[in-house]
Amino acid sequence: MSLAASSLAGLADQEAWAARKRFVDVGVLDLAYVDIPGEGRPLLLIHGFTDTSRSFSLLAPHLAGHRLVMPDLRGHGASQAGRGFGVADFAGDMAGLIRSLGLDRPLVVGHSLGAMVSIALAARHPELVGGLMLLAGTLRTDFPADHPLVLAVEALRDPIEPTDPFYDWWHACEAAVPEAFLACLAREASDMPAARWRASLAEIRRADLMADAWAVQPGTRIIAGGRDPLFGEAQQNAMARVLPDASLAWARECGHNPHWEDPAFVALEIERMLAHTRA
């Protein structure tokens, strides 16, 4: 078995995920990341708000043979927090990660907040990005003050319990997802102080990526969940209209987490995008 195949074979063991992490200095802080070896154009996979690199552990086995680099965003997982939690801060870290690891124009796969970070990264550092795959993303959240996520985050108090009923909503999926995976996600999210949840969400709500989207140069594939309760059809169509050379694919039976709910479908779309960027 190849090194890549043997590494991927153990990804089902959620308890072992944290032990896979390495650390890299990206210029202003140290980021934790998981690096699965492979061939061809590397993939940089950027998780969403309150998640970690673990978010892609269900997808990784479907991408055997590819190099997969999966960081914890600043303030998430095992990465240092730094002083800012804006989309631009995260994007700057990702640029530093690409340079530090010597990644050659990776295909950047971003989920939710990670999709927003991917757009900002591609717009501000076009020389570093070979293509974009955006999962359940948006150009701006448009969350009002009484949005369920805003209210829930305002109500959080330390210590946050991994068994808090909030996670039943926050990690809800339209398809069966392994309970061990969801339990680990909740445990990692609960390690973030409530003040950090609020500070990060406030920055996300302020972000408007319309200008960045117009500046994106590489081709973009958008994967939208047909039952996404956070970023619906209007937001997906807006991204497809504004991002140059963008196409939109629907995971009609998925909610906000298509890479958890139907990782085989997402992996197939990634393979097609890789083939397109090689052409």
Residue 32 host element (H or E): strand 30-36
DSSP 45: E
State residue 6's pLDDT score: 46
pLDDT at 12 over 80: no
State residue 13's pLDDT score: 74
Residue with tokens 């974009």: 132
What residues have CB less than 8 Å from 168, skipping those under 6 apart?
none
Q: What pTM was estimated for this model as a whole? A: 0.95
> Could you give the CA distance from residue 105 to residue 122 in angstroms, rounded to a whole number?
10
**pLDDT tens for residues 27-67?**
989 999 999 999 999 999 999 999 999 999 999 999 999 99
Tokens of 6: 């043997």
> Could you give the CA distance from residue 184 to residue 265 in angstroms, rounded to a whole number?
23
**pLDDT tens for residues 83-127?**
999 999 999 999 999 999 999 999 999 999 999 999 999 999 999
> Could you give the CA distance from residue 117 to residue 262 in angstroms, rounded to a whole number?
23
